[in-house]
Each structure stands twice: as C-alpha cells, then as structure tokens.
Amino acid sequence: MTMAEQEPELDMTRSQVFGEVAELYDAARPGYADALAGDVLAYAALDGRTAVEIGAGTGKATRSFAALGTPLLCIEPDLRMAEVLRRNTAGFPQVRVRAGRFEDWQPDGRRFGLVYAATSWHWVDPERRWDLVHDALAPGGAVALFWNPHGTLDPRLQAALVEVDRRYGLDRTPHGVSASDYGETPGDWAGVREWPEEECRRDGRFTDLRAVRYRQEQYYDTERYLGLLASVSGYRVLPAERRERILAETAEVLDAHGGGIAMDHLTDLFLARVRPAR
C-alpha cells in the first residue's frame, strides 16, 4: 500500500480491492529497503522462533524475511492475494500462509517472537490491534511496523499530475506529496497521522521503542508508473471508464515530462518489544 491509501479511519471497501489486481499489485508495487529485514531480525533475536506477518499481501516484505531463513506465519485476508503469496514463497518451506483477517486469527496459546506489518497496520482495527499483537507475542517479543512512503522529486511534474487528480476528485495519490514535504525523522509524513509511536507509548505494555529511516531514489517509466497507480485503492474504487480516463491523462502528462517520474522512496520502521514478565 502507498501513503495514498492510509486513511484516518478503517475503510474495508478500500482494503479489499487489491485482490482484484493481485498480479499487477505484485509486479508494480515497490518493495522495502534491502537492509530492513536484517535489522528487524537483529532487534527481534528470534533464535528459531516463528514470526507472524499481518496482511502479507503478495509477499513484498515476506520474501526478504524468508530469504534470511525466518520461520513465518503469514496472514492475508484476501484469497486472491494469498494465492499469489503462496506462489511467491513456494521455495521457502518454512513459510506458511493462512487466509483470513488478523482480527479473526487465534494464536491458540502460542507465543511468537515477532509480529510485523508491512504497510498494513492501518488496516487493522485500531480498537483491538495492540491487544491482538500483545496476546500473540512472548515476553520480550518484538513488533515491527513499517511503511514505504514516497514523494515526487520534480515539483513541476507534480503540479501537472495533481491538476489531473483534482479533475477526477482524487487528492491522496502516490505523486500527491512532494519529496521536500517529508520531515527528517521517521513518521514525519507531510501531515499524514499514522505513525504508531504515540499510540504504543499510551498502551504502556511495550518498551525499547525505536525508529529507523531508510532512503533511496527510484525512477518509474510511464508504463510502470501507470501499473502502480492501477493497483492503488483510490484508483481501484473508481468506475472502470473513469479510471481509464484518468490513467490516460496521467500518461500524457508523464510523456510530456520525459516519459516517467522520479520518486524519493522512504522506508520508515517502528520497533518495540513486549515488556518482560515480572
């Protein structure tokens, strides 16, 4: 998911549209920083224990953790996304995929060493999510929450694209934020309030809170960027004819500005662990 999909309230309609284009989602969506999985695992110190992934999608983050030998239980609510996830992790026998919502999953007395969510935490019921994570983790177990927001580097191109968006009533698209609008610290996302640190501190059952930012520039040619947009929920919920029109107009703008778009890609990571039992 992109920053454009991080709504302040849980929107199940948007959260369930990705399976319509599971293959496109898998091909077009960017992954996460190369160092992230190793850093999370170093913090969690699993020592062979299983990690749980919330809303694994098609495995954008899963494969990085699996490649490092991590035993994984991946929970994905959309059957179509789960099917692609199973295919993408077929070479990792230590990965299990469970179709269903994290809110409906029962750990059945098991306690895990790590629970992580890759751009999916904001889809989990905000009234229950910290309880659910705490109940799934062993004392000292870690939670890792991360997102990959991005900003447009060329302000003139951004302004032209935003003008197209406005004509179609879209205001939270992947190119809607300038790279310069992001702050210097993890979670400072140009006014989007999704960073979990304050919520976690209020909960009080977690300790050793940390935040890490990774950064890299990425270029999308017109075709690849249109594929990314076509997988975004704000575009998916548009009527098909209207969606095709906005994508066509967006392509015209991109082609008029050199045939693509350069983005500043961030990966912002939040870490915490369950307080040890006294």
Residue 25 is predicted with a pLDDT of 60
**What is the helix (H) or strand (E) element at residue 124, kind and residue range?**
none
Checking if the pLDDT of 191 tops 90, the result is no
Checking if the pLDDT of 15 tops 60, the result is no
Name the nearest CA neighbour of 230 among 211, 217, 245. 245
In the structure, what pLDDT confidence band is assigned to residue 21 with cuts at 50, 70 and 90? low
What mean pLDDT value characterizes the chain? Answer: 90
Residues 23-39 have pLDDT tens digits of 666 666 778 999 999 99
Residue 6 is predicted with a pLDDT of 46
Checking if the pLDDT of 7 tops 50, the result is no
Residue 172 is predicted with a pLDDT of 83
Checking if the pLDDT of 51 tops 80, the result is yes
Residue 236 is predicted with a pLDDT of 84
Higher pLDDT, 13 or 124: 124
**Half-sphere exposure (CA, 13 Å, Cβ side) for 1?**
27
Taking each helix axis as running N to C, give the angle between helix 155-167 and helix 240-256, from 0 to 180 degrees, rounded to the nearest 10.
160
178, 225 contact by CB (below 8 A): no
Checking if the pLDDT of 123 tops 80, the result is yes
Checking if the pLDDT of 261 tops 60, the result is yes
Domain 3-150+179-217+265-274: state its class: alpha beta
Hey, where are the domains in the chain? Answer: 3-150+179-217+265-274
Calpha distance 38→189 (Å, rounded): 24
Residues 208-234 have pLDDT tens digits of 999 999 999 999 999 999 988 988 888
Calpha distance 134→69 (Å, rounded): 24
Higher pLDDT, 201 or 25: 201
Checking if the pLDDT of 249 tops 90, the result is yes
236, 1 contact by CB (below 8 A): no
Checking if the pLDDT of 114 tops 70, the result is yes
Residue 231 is predicted with a pLDDT of 82
Predicted model pTM? 0.86
